[in-house]
Structure 1
Amino acid sequence: MQIFDPAQTAQALPYDRLVDALAQAVRELAAGIIKAPERLAVGIDAGGTLLCMPAVAPDLGVTKLVTVHTDNARHGLPAIQGEVVMFDSATGKRLALLDGPTVTQRRTAAMSLLGIRTLAPRKPATVLLIGTGAQAAAHAEALADYFGVAELHVAGSSMAKAMQFAAVLRARHPGVNIVPVGEGELAQHAAAADVVIALTTSRQPVVPAALPPHTLAIGVGAFRPGMAELPPELLHARQVVVDDLAGARHEAGDLLQAAIAWDRVQPLADILAGAAPRGPLAPVFKTVGQAAWDLAAARVVCAI
């Protein structure tokens, strides 16, 4: 069995291949070709959770085991730690062990790319990222790599954090104009963005309620019922699309708190199949993650 460290895992998951693999996995999950139960979450303590996410297809299977400890910064440790085990479906032979946080970061960013490719009315030139953590960094890389985004506006919980994060991104992406955004400037910068992506664990909406008709809003960070990044006003005004409907019913705090009727929430699989109508406004895309997306990443690794 081959063991991939974080750098090797990232190198094995180029975004162009990962986005296409995710589109295939979205279709196969909807068709029942991929079997992936809802993830099992076991509380460890007030700040810790163990997540187990299995998925099986005729060709390949994966199990992701990760721990999430939200207060790990004080220990000098990452909040998310874990691994993805890949195995051959026909024999059960273990094929590889991937770095779990790296897989999560890249396939989550790639799902946002797929959402933009599918739902945005035009190729994005300017994107506003709300959040300064690992997912925000992965999204910055993904947007620059896949779409060639030339301008990124980045907002944090404070201007100091936004400026620090912007400095890190400038060093990594010298060809991209990185603009730090203060909390009071969010509405102004959102109005100038083609896409607004929220990547926080906020319990209060962080995306402005009023967005231009063409601006696609994506909510990534809120993964518990008590969290919310997308405002109810925006969710009720626009078509709502989710990456995984079953998971969203339990985990999409934005939608749950806004009391969105589930019969008006469209799975991304329906959009990809051309089975859902498109409205005049850019929709809102909410992602919660799914083990099938880890399987998609494993397929990309197998193809290298």
Structure 2
Amino acid sequence: MSSTLILDHDQTRRALPPDALLPAVRTALIATSRNEASTPPRIAAIAPAGILGAMPGYVAGLGLAGKFVAIFRPGGPTGPSTHHGIVALFDENDGHVLALMSGEAVTAARTAASATVAFQELAPSTVGRIAVIGAGVQAHAQLELLHHLGLTAEIVVASRSQDSATHLAQRYGTATARTIQEAVCSADVVFCCTDADHPVLRHPWLRSPAHISSVGGSRGHELDRSTVTGGTLYVEWPGAVSHAPPAGAHELQDVSPDRAALLGSVLSGDHPGRTGDELTVFKSTGYAALDVAAASVAYQRATELGFGTRIDM
């Protein structure tokens, strides 16, 4: 009987170094654009206080995995949401369970990675200031990844709670805190990492040219209509536009599919990406191919370093 590797939250996080995760996410995005991935739309069971989503996927060259994620709001409708889950990596040849790992750690890391890949491909040629909107787990993961890249751009943190933004900015010596409008108005790149159910920024605040990577909005619109229609739009997978939430994006439900280009097609050279001084908008919904990429990296790295616990399932 083959054993299964168990990784807790901290072990999963340690097994996802950016230098390995970013290339894997790029591979998953390219595979998606070339129809080399099998990623059915996310489904969810609805409970009184939250949802349980299921996301299976296979990506050629990376592997076979699935995620169960519970999204709840224990403090009530206006409180912060929680994400609890597990990711299972399977052997693509015989189906046995290779590893079980923290869904929270995988989600935070792969989401930040996809937003960063979009930034690297679609940002203006000169980036002097980057705004990170949000002060929760995803904003922290995004700041951590940007810090790892060693960027020279000024980084500004903003949130609906100024105290939360200040606290998060203080964890990164070069970051400062501003209001959301102040941060957006002066930024060349904006990362929206919130759990908002209504837009957190307005199109008139944005500079031209600028780039937005929006990864929040699982409960509703994180971007306003004018931002979505006023920019050149990119997504991870076609279902972001063609499927209803929880698989697709709230902001893209009435957008024509031919308006959204796949980020993977830019990475592969099949789409030109940014062509001038336009606003570029990457709207992430999160989907299974990215979880496959992260799970593959985490399993390989943890195996190489010899940490985690092995059990017989």
Call closer, same or farther: CA 1:72–1:7 in 2, change over 3 Å: farther
Tell me, yes or no, if structure 1 residue 43 matches structure 2 residue 54.
Answer: no
Cα distance, 1:81 vs. partner? 0.9
Amino acid at match of 1:299: S
The answer to whether the 8 A contact 2:81-2:195 is kept is no
Farther-moved stretch of structure 1 (52-61 vs 197-206): 52-61
Q: Which amino acid counterpart does residue 50 of structure 2 have in structure 1?
A: G
**How far, CA to CA, are the matches of 1:68 and 1:97 in structure 2?**
19
CA shift, 1:90, in A, is: 0.6
Q: Give yes or no for contact 1:235–1:284 (8 Å, CA) kept in 2.
A: yes
Q: 2:294 maps to which residue?
A: 297
AA paired with 2:23? D
* 1:192 aligned partner: 186
Q: Is 1:247 aligned with 2:240?
A: yes
> What SS does the aligned partner of 1:38 have?
coil
For the 8 Å contact 2:32–2:237, the answer to whether it is kept is no
Q: Deviations over 1:144-167 (max 9, x none)?
A: 112435532111212223223333
Q: Is contact 1:39-1:53 (8 Å) kept?
A: yes
Structure 2 residues not aligned, in runs of 5+: 302-313
1:205 and 2:194 equivalent? Answer: no
Aligned pair count reads 289
| CA RMSD across the alignment | 2.3
Whole-angstrom CA distance in 1 between matches of 2:266 and 2:290: 17
Native 8 Å contact 1:57 1:89 kept in 2: no
Alignment of 1:139-288 (within 5 A): 139-148=142-151, 151-167=154-170, 169=171, 173-174=172-173, 177-182=174-179, 186-210=180-204, 211-224=206-219, 227-249=220-242, 250=244, 251-256=248-253, 259-277=254-272, 278-280=274-276, 281-288=278-285
Shift of residue 73, structure 1, vs aligned partner = 8.4
Q: Which residue of 2 aligns with 1:68?
A: 71
How does the TM-score come out when normalised to structure 1? 0.87
CA distance in 2, matches of 1:196, 1:97: 33
Deviations 1:197-240 (A, max 9, x none): 1112223211231322232111111124xx11212222222111
Q: Distance in 2 between matches of 1:241 and 1:17?
A: 23
Q: Deviations over 1:41-96 (max 9, x none)?
A: 11111x3100111112456211111111122589x997111111111111112111
Unmatched 5+ residue regions in structure 1?
none
C-alpha distance in 1 between matches for 2:129 and 2:76: 31
Please say if 1:17 is aligned against 2:20: yes
Q: Does 1:96 align with 2:95?
A: no
Three-state SS of the structure 2 residue aligned to 1:283 is strand
Closer, same or farther in 2 for the Cα pair 1:202/1:102, shift >3 Å? same
Give every structure 1 segment of 4 or more consecutive aligned residues whose post-TM-superposition deviation is greater than 6 Å.
none
Identity across matched positions, percent:
30
Distance, in Å, in 2 between the alignment partners of 1:78 and 1:189 is 24
Of structures 1 and 2, the one with the larger relative CO (CA 8 A, separation 6+) is: 2
